[in-house]
Amino acid sequence: MKSLLSVDDAATAEEREVSGETLRIRGGRPLTGRVEVKGAKNLATKAMVAALLGETSSTLRDVPDISDVQVVRSLLEVHGVVVTDGDEPGSMVFDPSGAVSAHFEEIDAHAGASRIPILFCGPLLHLLGEALIPDLGGCRIGDRPINFHMDALRAFGAIVDKSYEGIRITAPDGLTGAKIELPYPSVGATEQVLLTAVKARGVTELRNAAIEPEIMDLIAVLQKMGAIISYEPNRVILIEGVDTLRGYDHRCIFDRNEAASWACAALATDGDIFVGGARQQEMLTFLNVFRKAGGWFDVREDGIQFRRDGALKPVVVETDVHPGFMTDWQQPLIVALTQAEGRSIVHETVYENRLGFTEALVQMGADIVVHPDGIASTDRRVPRRALEQAAVINGPTPLHGADVEVPDLRGGYSYVIAALAAEGESIVRNVGIIRRGYEKFFTKLAALGADFDVIG
Ligand code: EPU
């Protein structure tokens, strides 16, 4: 076996981990062993933005070493926040005492790199009275509009202007609490409201809020800072604005998306993976589907072990907001479902273009048909949305190697897993995108016995 760990020079291995873009993978070998998951990408990056709201330094622990974190770190730095290492590995300290407006060129350098810059609006408006947001990036999984964010900011009294530079938002009269009802329980828009309302004058009532565990963890961060936030029944969040907030010391919630990804890798490759740091509570919905699909798991104090429990079985899944089955889980699951005995259906109801990645799986031998307008079916839990799609997966089909290009973060991870499950050799290009959300990806693959080379 030739894998990254067999590279003699550790510095070279590290370099490849941060710059490798193309993998040659020899499949047909189960992934077995142990991986550790750290803090959730979808909390850490938001908690970093929250540090801008404090009058003293904040410490964030278990921060994953991923490129989305680097983008947010750079954006904080161009706004004058001093970022240093904390007192333990994986911790970061943010000192916002010298925060300043950034120059357009500095902000623009981050254009297209991540979705997180939009969450700087509220904190920057409180701090400096204006915010400039570059073109937003993130995964190419549909239109990803920002209308909920802008409508919410306007409700607080902000003025939104589009200019050649991007979006300029100002609040000459400060920000005032508002009654806001989101058209959909958007994760990002809920975070936007939280990060803005905590220091707005008066009370904000947010209806139809997202209630993902990462949002609850962000609320915990803000409460540590001095915010007053209560979570009411039926997706209602009440925020009483306060004049000042202090820094926090917080350990990030674990990354349940990464944990679910490795669980699906065990299922797809017929392997056996212990995911250190994974917790049951935040993964209940995933674990039910995993079990129905023929997976076996054992919840332990320090993590969860995942493997197959005999032949894989077909399932019908609808993605949904929490506590439903997360949209981020469906791509790696679909790879495993290509090996299930029968017909599975995955309804994607959150994003309008998150099944495009299946084309490459078909190229590798999978039998998957995507219905662009979804398919009608009975017993649906989620009301049908205009933008939904459905994938029908007939299995089991042997997968064979192919030359594929990673389209987005979760799709990319799935291609690597499919290549590892397939017979023969695959080339997977553009794997850099996977580093947006998976820490030390090559090192973890190698530790699980994956047979691959970094060839570019
Ligand atoms: N939407 C709008 N207008 C808006 C905002 C959202 O129409 O202003 C729509 C979106 O187009 C989408 C739906 O609302 O159809 C849900 O989007 P949401 O705002 O909930 O997603 P997000 O905040 O942009 C976060 C995660 C995603 C994850 C989703 C759903 C981050 C940085 N991203 O995105 O994570 O899939 O919530 O849980 O937290 C990933 O990790 O790979 C990833 C894409």
Work out the average pLDDT over 406-415. Answer: 95
Phi, psi values for residue 387, rounded to 5°: -95, 10
Q: Is 95 helix (H, G, I), strand (E, B) or coil?
A: strand
Q: Rounded to the nearest whole angstrom, what is the distance from the C-alpha of residue 322 to the centroid of ligand 1?
A: 12
Work out the average pLDDT over 70-76. Answer: 93
Work out the average pLDDT over 181-203. Answer: 97
HEC secondary structure over 317-353? EEECCCCCECHHHHHHHHHHHCCCCEEEEEEECCCCC
Work out the average pLDDT over 96-111. Answer: 77
* Residue 3 CB–ligand 1 contact under 6 Å: no
Q: What is residue 219's predicted lDDT score, i.e. its pLDDT?
A: 98
* Residue 201 CB–ligand 1 contact under 6 Å: no
The percent of residues above 90 in pLDDT, for the chain, comes to 80
| Ligand 1 atom closest to Cα of residue 146 | 8
Q: What is residue 138's predicted lDDT score, i.e. its pLDDT?
A: 60
Element (H, E) at 49: helix 41-50
Q: What is residue 1's predicted lDDT score, i.e. its pLDDT?
A: 43
Average pLDDT, the chain: 92
Rounded Cα gap, residues 56 and 74, in angstroms: 19
Q: What is residue 9's predicted lDDT score, i.e. its pLDDT?
A: 47
| Contact present, 436 and 40 (Cβ < 8 Å) | no
Q: What is the pLDDT of residues 34-69, one digit of tens each?
A: 999 999 999 999 999 999 999 999 999 999 999 999
What is the value of pTM for the model shown? 0.94
Q: What is residue 141's predicted lDDT score, i.e. its pLDDT?
A: 53
Q: What is the pLDDT of residues 364-380, one digit of tens each?
A: 999 999 998 888 776 66
Please determine, for residue 289, whether its predicted confidence score (pLDDT) is greater than 70: yes
Tokens of 9: 């020079």
Please determine, for residue 110, whether its predicted confidence score (pLDDT) is greater than 80: no
Residue bearing the CA closest to ligand 1, atom 11: 144
Q: Rounded to the nearest whole angstrom, what is the distance from the C-alpha of residue 427 to the centroid of ligand 1?
A: 30
Q: What is residue 7's predicted lDDT score, i.e. its pLDDT?
A: 41
Respond yes or no: is residue 139 known to be catalytic: yes
Work out the average pLDDT over 387-400. Answer: 94
Please determine, for residue 145, whether its predicted confidence score (pLDDT) is greater than 80: yes
Q: How confident is the model at residue 15 (pLDDT cuts 50, 70, 90)?
A: low
* Residue 42 CB–ligand 1 contact under 6 Å: yes
Rounded Cα gap, residues 237 and 323, in angstroms: 16
Q: What is residue 19's predicted lDDT score, i.e. its pLDDT?
A: 83
Catalytic residue among 121, 139, 252, 264: 139
Residue bearing the CA closest to ligand 1, atom 5: 146
Whether the upstream peptide bond of residue 314 has omega within 30° of 0, thus cis, is no
* Residue 327 CB–ligand 1 contact under 6 Å: yes
Q: What is residue 167's predicted lDDT score, i.e. its pLDDT?
A: 85
Q: Which of 184, 195, 256, 436 to mutate to test the pocket of ligand 1 (most atoms within 8 A of CB)?
A: 184
* Residue 188 CB–ligand 1 contact under 6 Å: yes
Q: What is residue 136's predicted lDDT score, i.e. its pLDDT?
A: 66
Indicate the Cα dihedral angle 443, 445, 449, 452, nearest 10°: -90
